[in-house]
Structure 1
Amino acid sequence: MTPLYLLLDEKHELHNREMHISGKFLQGHDDPINDPIKLERREQQIIDLLRQRSDMTRKEMGDKLGCSEATVKRELQKLIEKGVVKRVGSNKKGEWVLVNFK
């Protein structure tokens, strides 16, 4: 078989390759949807505060936890990325909703 050259008369040889797909990556692995979400201590504390009052501000959370508002903001962002909480409504009148957490 002759090599196929392509891309504006350049000498780039294209080969057929086989892709071997097996189930070895899935064997013994639990369903990632049902895996428990790993939370750090402060993230768990924020979750506990939000269970008490979902409209709590970051400043109020920081005061209760003894940390800065910036730290609470950073921890909330991690919780959003993990899919645990989301913000519903505006920044002023909205509230935090626990999404994927028991």
Structure 2
Amino acid sequence: MKAQKKCPSCGEWSPWLQKPDDRCFYCDALLDPRAHTIEQERAEQEAENKKKIEAIVLPIHPEDGFFARLGKRVFNVVQLVFVAILSFFIWLITVMAG
């Protein structure tokens, strides 16, 4: 049995795959505009979060020299170890506190 949804624009019943970008068979309007906007906002938020994560790590470009790449790689490793140790101490304090 196929799912159908009533179009909010024209009022006709259209096949619905329950995706945010499903469109009406008759008038080509979005069947669920609210879900479509929520999906777009979620995609924008993911892109923004990815940019924030990339800003934390020092990027290593292919055109960087040998010593620049080595220095950036060492810096990234030291930064990772520092965060790991800090996270361990926070976890330890939390466990000891009960």
TM norm structure 1: 0.26
Structure in which a larger fraction of residues adopt strand: 1
TM norm structure 2: 0.27
Larger relative contact order (Cα-Cα within 8 Å, sequence gap ≥ 6): 1
Structure in which a larger fraction of residues adopt helix: 2
